[in-house]
Amino acid sequence: MAETSWGAAEAEAPKKRRIPGWVWFCGAGCLLALIVSAVAAVFVVRGVRRATDPEVQWAAIDEVLPYEQRPQGWTPRFGVGMGMLGFETYVLEQTGGATADGRSPGGLVAVLMVFSAAQGEEVRRQMLDAEKVEAPFNLGGRTEMRRGTVEVQGRTLKVLRAVQTGGQHGGGETAIVDLTPEGSSKPILLQLIRPNSQDPVRDEEIVTFLEPFDVDRDG
């Protein structure tokens, strides 16, 4: 048994440990795991803050669809940039502003999506496929698909309208607009959703939403 100096112990109080003893007991691997977990938690918190920060989202949206003035009555709720999944998406909610026909303000949700060149063309085809009854990304189903077009800033954009069932927004009328610039290998799609409603998304609403953005540009 090691010798113990009782006199020194009485004269000096034991120092408070900065790291609990059980951490060292379980070995360096356990301590490393704790450090990694702590760092990961910090990045998760920071990531969530960035993903829900309107200022950060507006700046990211400007990179996808440049604008001179933010669209009035819309608030970014969530967004993630291009990463390992190969796509980025931004969700905006209509929070105010009168509609053209005097209806109640608000009610629409806008989802802006950008896909990588590697997978984008296939996703673009599926999302605009009027025969595909499953909503993209397993977000429910869709019925009553109708192909169409809408004129925006001199461009004729493809539109697929449908009634979406299920999904995180509870289903409802939706319109998927192909905003991909001419010559671009990265598809850009806009989905406008009217949650829990059978009221179609009208051409005027698409035009009004896109008015502040530079849609007529090359890729």
The full set of domain ranges for the chain reads 53-210
Would the CA dihedral through 128, 134, 135, 138 be positive or negative?
Answer: negative
* CA atoms of 166 and 146, how far apart (whole Å): 19
CB 60 within 8 A of CB 81: yes
**% of the chain exceeding 90 in pLDDT:** 23
d(CA 71, CA 78): 16
pLDDT at residue 160, rounded to an integer: 93
Q: Are 58 and 78 in contact (CB under 8 A)?
A: no
- Cα–Cα distance, 103 to 91 (Å, whole number): 22
- Residue with more model confidence, 95 or 96: 95
Q: Class assignment of domain 53-210?
A: alpha beta
The closest of 102, 81, 99, 100 to 90, measured between CA atoms, is 81
Q: Which helix (H) or strand (E) holds 163?
A: strand 155-165
Q: What gap in Å lies between CA 134 and CA 130, rounded to an integer?
A: 10
**How many Cβ atoms are within 10 Å of 99's Cβ, its own excluded?**
17
| Two tokens, residue 166 | 């299920």
List pLDDT tens digits, range 44-75.
445 566 667 888 899 999 998 999 888 889 99
Higher-confidence position of 216 and 161: 161
Question: Pick the residue with more confidence: 202 or 168?
Answer: 202
